[in-house]
Amino acid sequence: MRIVYLDLDSLRPDHLGCYGYHRNTSPNIDRIAEEGVVFTNYYCSDAPCLPSRSALMSGRFGIHTGIAGHGGTAADMRREGPSRGFEDRLKWESLPGVLRKAGYKAATISTFADRHSAWTFNAGFHEVHNIGENGIESAHQVLPTALKWLEDNGSMNRWFLHLNFWDPHTPYRVPETYGYPFREAPLPEWLTEDVFQSHLLKEGQHSISDMNRLAKSHYSKWPRHGQPVENYGDLRHIIDNYDSAIRYMDDHIGQVLSKLEQLGILEDTAILISADHGENLGELGIYSEHGTADQGTCRIPMIFRWPGGAKGIKNEGLHYHLDLAPTLADLVGAARPDRWDGRSYMESITEGMDEGRDYLVLSQCAHVCQRSVRFQDWLYIRSYHDGHHGFPKEMLFHLKDDPYEQRNLAEELRDVCKEAVYLLSDWHDEMMSSMESDTDPLWTVMKEGGPLHAQEYPTFSGSKQP
């Protein structure tokens, strides 16, 4: 089996046509979605970038790996210590390591490890291709390396290619020559004038006023961030540029698919499309960032086209992105490490079954310190450090009625909050009882001064990326 994993940074599912978006942002992604399984309740366990991809490739929650944030002790994976042998366990227990042991050539085309000094991310890969732009590259800079790799390796029978595009990540840097393809398209219906006016009143990190400040400083070199958002019509500046980034990336994904077709292997190649996290575009009054443990940040797409697998299926079960590791292991007949936290959803791929978990616990410690519980139609968020956002300690949203988190029901529905706290406590007990350390990295972040990006607010310093 040949496997291409398209890792599309900061990609929200609800801005893709196959998830019901009204703008034509993703024709090539949608084409793959028609031929596979589309997961509608798929979440990163740990957000944002560094914790998320570390959990994905290790198959383990951040509370187990120790990676929960973007700086300090909790930005490094826990080491094995005196028990370490000539090779560490991660080499063979990572997702690429497991595939490698099963006879697959594993390669990554990504600047992620370089951007975050996340060298453990590379564990298990045969090849690491870093084009050297530190995560600020556009799709046209990544594409030549991807096409060359496919030309050189496409005829092999067993390979896994992790291909990382960054375009929807702030700053939105689509070349000006690409234009503005959604200039005439309406904004999302929920972003009304009244919603906008309420967001104008919000202060703190990642608010509209904060984004306007960043447009003059941190993002001043990027032309698409030059216009401040002062009235309702200006919201188009944010939404259109985000959607243009998706469409620009999708165009280049189309060229990857064309190369596979040219090589005669498209139909026999598994295509997986997902993200490390989403992007808040108004949820909680936050724009152009992925700094919370909420729906906007943690819900991600997963489109899974497997040759001979189910087609045209919408899977509504609750899944973590780290469930991918055991799923792929089962699909290719590889042995699963005992330490993996993920649960295989192989039968969702092979039979179209709608299996899933009872609830999920999501963590964020880079911009805030939060844990949330996603269960039934509810999202409960508990803030330990609000990261200069002004969040209350508890937030509760009914996602079926309020998917964009505009009405906090925590004070009204105490019984639902108590149920969520019980689930959170039960998960935490399970995690702590199965750890090789007695330290929860969320509290490490708190004790070391709080989330990295909250420490940098209101001005970013040095070479750090927000």
Task: Name the H helices within 266-323.
Answer: 295-298
Q: Is the pLDDT of residue 121 over 70?
A: yes
Among the residue ranges 89-98, 215-224, 404-413, 423-432, the one predicted with the least confidence is: 215-224
Query: Mean per-residue pLDDT for 386-395?
Result: 96
Q: Is 3 helix (H, G, I), strand (E, B) or coil?
A: strand
Q: How far apart are CA 355 and CA 358, in angstroms?
A: 10
Domain count, the chain: 1
pLDDT tens, residue by residue, 220-237: 888 898 889 999 999 999
The verdict on residue 444 lying in a domain is no
The verdict on residue 427 lying in a domain is no
What is the reported pLDDT for 355? 85
pLDDT tens, residue by residue, 257-303: 999 999 999 999 999 999 999 999 999 999 999 999 999 999 999 99
What is the reported pLDDT for 466? 35
Q: Is the pLDDT of residue 149 over 90?
A: yes
Strands 127-129 and 105-109: parallel
Q: How far apart are CA 256 and CA 262, in angstroms?
A: 10
What is the reported pLDDT for 459? 47
What is the reported pLDDT for 150? 98
pLDDT tens, residue by residue, 41-98: 999 999 999 999 999 999 999 999 999 999 999 999 999 999 999 999 999 999 999 9
Q: Is the pLDDT of residue 25 over 50?
A: yes
The verdict on residue 334 lying in a domain is yes
The verdict on residue 167 lying in a domain is yes
The verdict on residue 286 lying in a domain is yes
Q: Is the pLDDT of residue 107 over 70?
A: yes
Q: How far apart are CA 286 and CA 300, in angstroms?
A: 17
The verdict on residue 371 lying in a domain is no
What is the enclosing helix (H) or strand (E) of 170? none
- Give the CATH number for residue 74: 3.40.720.10
What is the reported pLDDT for 215? 84
Strands 359-364 and 46-47: parallel
The verdict on residue 271 lying in a domain is yes
Biggest CA–CA distance in the chain, Å, is 62
What is the reported pLDDT for 389? 94
The verdict on residue 250 lying in a domain is yes
Q: Name which of 353, 321, 350, 343 is nearest 5 in CA terms.
A: 321
Task: Compute CA distances 65 → 53, 152, 209, 290, 449, whole Å.
Answer: 12, 35, 36, 21, 20
Alpha-carbon dihedral of residues 7, 8, 13, 15, nearest 10 degrees?
A: -160
Question: In this structure, are residues 388 and 368 in contact, taking their beta carbons and an 8 Å threshold?
Answer: no
Q: Whole domain around residue 52: which residue ranges?
A: 2-184+191-354
